[in-house]
């Protein structure tokens, strides 16, 4: 079986942290990632960019509807994810629109955070 672990943080708390505090957190994350890699549990993991970069895509009656912001309703729950390689947001949106659930649910498109230094 595979499990997806979803990390919920308050972006405001991260923004309010000092450099030393975020450094400490990154170090802990690095250690944790190494640990679950070594134990053979790790499959994939990425940090997401803030929700200000999010776009929500829906397809209704064959038309792609795009809106700024994350999907925020609680009626539907996160059911899965695809990690894709796309050259820009337009291509990512086009692929998101092809996911079958786009016709009834919503697909949130979130760019992956790229760090200058590998975090472990």
Partner 1 sequence: MTTHAALIRVYREQIGRIVATLIRVLGDFDLAEEIAHDAFAAALEQWPTEGSPSNPAGWLVQTARHKAVDEVRRRAIGRRKLQQAQIVAEVEASFQPEPDVESGLEDDRLRLMFTCCHPALALEAQVALTLRTLGGLSTEEIARAFLVPPTTMAQRLVRAKGKIRDANIPYRVPPTEQLSERLDAVRAVVYLVFSEGYAATAGDAFIRRDLCNEAIRLGLLLAKLLPDRSETEGLCALMLLHDSRRDARLDDAGDIVLLEDQDRARWDEDEIREGLALTESALRKCARQPGPYALQAAISACHARAPRAQETDWRQIAVLYDILSEIHPTKIVSLNRAVAIAMLRGPEQGLAELDAIARGGELDGYYLFHAARADFLRRLGQLGAAAESYEKAKSLVLGDAERRFLDRRIAEVRRGS
Q: What is the binding site for partner 1 (CB under 8 A)?
A: 49, 52-55, 66-69, 88-90, 93, 109, 111
Closest contact distance (angstroms) between CB of 113 and partner 1 is 9
Residue 108's Cβ-side half-sphere holds a number of Cα atoms within 13 Å equal to 20
Closest CB to partner 1 among residues 10, 88: 88
Closest contact distance (angstroms) between CB of 109 and partner 1 is 8
Closest CB to partner 1 among residues 30, 110: 110
* Angular region, 102: left φ>0, alpha ψ -120 to 50, beta rest: alpha
Closest CB to partner 1 among residues 36, 93: 93
Rounded Cα gap, residues 54 and 63, in angstroms: 20
Closest contact distance (angstroms) between CB of 97 and partner 1 is 12
């Amino acid at each position: 079986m595979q499990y997806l672990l979803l990390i919920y943080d308050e972006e405001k708390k991260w923004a309010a942290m000092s450099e030393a505090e975020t450094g400490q957190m990154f170090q802990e994350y690095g250690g944790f990632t190494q640990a679950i890699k070594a134990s053979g549990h790790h499959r994939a993991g990425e940090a997401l960019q803030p929700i200000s970069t999010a776009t929500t895509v829906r397809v209704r009656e064959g038309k792609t509807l795009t809106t700024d912001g994350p999907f925020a309703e609680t009626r539907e729950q996160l059911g899965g994810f695809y990690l894709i390689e796309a050259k820009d947001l337009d291509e990512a949106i086009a692929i998101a629109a092809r996911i079958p659930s786009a016709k009834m649910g919503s697909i949130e498109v979130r760019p992956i955070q790229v760090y200058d230094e590998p975090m472990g």
